[in-house]
Each structure stands twice: as structure tokens, then as C-alpha cells.
């Protein structure tokens, strides 16, 4: 009787595992989702640098005015720093991202990709926020 229960449990486990996608397939989906978040904002890297340059140019123009409005100058300098930070964070993320699973188990790959999704999502958020702020502040000027 005990042997029959053990066989039944193993049979159920085998059936459940064969019905759904395996961990490697799920990881492939996770990896494509991570890359999709990256790909959404990667084309905007040039725009970050363009806005940074405009912000620094505007800060320089305002600093040369008489009378100088230090708040406006600082606002543009802060914007340039924020834009550069978002730009650099994308490169930090890309340098540390590993495309190969190496000797990791499928479960370790799952946790790695979940952490990467959080990280690249934060980069995505930083870039979008900086671009929105730059668009708003530079349009007003």
C-alpha cells in the first residue's frame, strides 16, 4: 500500500511537470522580457546626451546674463546631472548583464533574471523621468 502511494505521488509529479513549460523555457521568456525593457529606452540614449548638452548650454547662457538668476542656472545644471546619471546607469547595467547562463542551475537563472528585471526597470524609469523633465524644462525656455 505504501509503495502504491509513493508510485502515485511520483506519477502525479511527472504529469504536472510534463504539462507546463519547464524552467528553461520560462527563463527564455524572462530573458526576452528583460531585453524588451532595455530595448524600449536604449534608442533614447542619444536624446539624453542631446538634452544634457542643451541644459548645460542654457545654464551657461543664463550664467552670463546680467543679472544672473542663480536658481535657473542651478536648475539647468541639476537637469544635466540627472540626464548624465540616467545615461551612465544604462551603461552600468549593460556592462554587468550576463547573456550566458554559465554553470547556473535553471533556478539560479530564474533569480538572476528576476533581479535583472528589477535593475533594468529602474534604469528604464530613470531614463524616462529624466527625458520627461528635460522635455518640460527645455521647452519652457
Overall residue count recorded for the chain in this entry: 141
Is 93 domain-assigned? yes
- What domain count does the chain have? 1
Is 12 domain-assigned? no
From the number of C-beta atoms within 10 Å of its C-beta (0-12, 13-18, 19+), residue 79 rates as buried
pLDDT (tens digit, 9 = 90+) per residue, 29-56?
999 999 999 999 999 999 999 999 999 9
Is 79 domain-assigned? yes
Grid cell digits, residue 101:
547562463
Is 40 domain-assigned? yes
Q: What is the pTM of this model?
A: 0.81
Sign of CA dihedral 103, 104, 105, 109: negative
| Number of neighbours of residue 56 by Cβ within 10 angstroms | 17
From the number of C-beta atoms within 10 Å of its C-beta (0-12, 13-18, 19+), residue 133 rates as middle
pLDDT (tens digit, 9 = 90+) per residue, 71-115?
999 999 999 999 999 999 999 999 999 999 989 999 999 999 999
Which residues form the domain of 28? 21-139
Amino acid at each position: 500500500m505504501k509503495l502504491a502511494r509513493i508510485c502515485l505521488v511520483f506519477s502525479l509529479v511527472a504529469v504536472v511537470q510534463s504539462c507546463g513549460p519547464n524552467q528553461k523555457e520560462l527563463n527564455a521568456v524572462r530573458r526576452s522580457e528583460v531585453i524588451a525593457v532595455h530595448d524600449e529606452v536604449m534608442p533614447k540614449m542619444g536624446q539624453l546626451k542631446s538634452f544634457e548638452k542643451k541644459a548645460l548650454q542654457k545654464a551657461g547662457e543664463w550664467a552670463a546674463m546680467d543679472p544672473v538668476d542663480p536658481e535657473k542656472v542651478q536648475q539647468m545644471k541639476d537637469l544635466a546631472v540627472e540626464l548624465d546619471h540616467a545615461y551612465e546607469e544604462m551603461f552600468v547595467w549593460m556592462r554587468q548583464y550576463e547573456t550566458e547562463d554559465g554553470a547556473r542551475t535553471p533556478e539560479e537563472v530564474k533569480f538572476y533574471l528576476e533581479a535583472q528585471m528589477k535593475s533594468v526597470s529602474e534604469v528604464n524609469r530613470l531614463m524616462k523621468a529624466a527625458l520627461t523633465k528635460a522635455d518640460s524644462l527645455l521647452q519652457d525656455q
